[in-house]
Amino acid sequence: MIQLVIFDLDGTLFRGDEVIEGAPQALARLRSQGILIRFLTNNSGYSTEVLAEKLNRLGFQASPQEVMGTGPYALQISQQRSYRSVFVIGESGLHTIFSGYETERDDADAVVVGVDRQFTYAKCDRAMQLIRRGAHFLATNRDATYPIERGRVQPGAGAMVAAVESASGVSPEVLGKPEPQMILQILADANVDPQNALVVGDRVETDILAGQRAGCKVVLVLTGSTLDPAPGVRTLVSVNDLESLA
């Protein structure tokens, strides 16, 4: 019996500010059945509060406690490991998340790389030098692209991660999907066994693989990055096609 559904955001519930038709109503139906809802995104540029605000603005019921993103998760990992200094490549939101850290030390403990629309040669060089001096290389995710309005895509964090990886010669520790750690944390916090949880997403190589690695049931939707059904994976046109899961 499904007790918890974990939804990806970009490409699954919305594209930019364009809501997937019927998605808010589909989630409301699940909540009315007593099913727990959680939101999980590889997008590193926003705090849980900002992500919850966007979800509510687009018509979804959401609280910050129901949302997990790779930016806050990267901060959590950095705090658990007692990093003193972290060099951040990312959007302003990721910098805000790490605002309590020193960022310019030459002996930084870690380099965190997320999507960055202002990515430059200088940033890549700085990250490379720090990693070669021993800084731990953390990638929020490896998504090559992410979906936006009108069926378009833009470069994702994977493009920045690949540049830093190529320059430094060091492979990163990847925090986001397809690694299952964030899903496992959501399951533990909700006290739900993996077999009673469903992961819904639009990328086979991230959302679906992460759900499978965590031991959850999975559903692929064709409203984002993946346009064709995947062999052996339950596939729906959109989240609006999710039937009763109780």
What's the rounded Cα separation, in Å, for the pair 230 and 39?
23
Q: Given the residues 8, 109, 116, 143, select the one marked as catalytic.
A: 8
The span from the CA of 99 to the CA of 80, in Å, is 16
Which residue in 10, 116, 202, 207 is the catalytic one?
10
State the Cα angle at 90 between 87 and 95, rounded to 5°: 65
Q: How far is CA 242 from the centre of its chain?
A: 22
Phi, psi of 62 (to 5 degrees): -160, 140
Query: Does the active-site annotation cover 8?
Result: yes
Cα diameter, the chain:
54
In this structure, the dihedral spanned by the alpha carbons of residues 211, 200, 9 and 117, taken in order and rounded to 10 degrees, is 50
107 is catalytic: no
- Beta-carbon contacts of 104 under 8 Å, excluding residues fewer than 6 positions away, are 85, 87
Number of helices (H), then strands (E), belonging to the chain: the values are 8, 14
Q: Torsion over CA of 15, 21, 24 and 30, rounded to 10 degrees?
A: -120
Nearest to 60 by CA among 15, 26, 10, 16: 26
Coil, strand or helix at 211: helix
Question: Which residue numbers are catalytic?
Answer: 8, 10
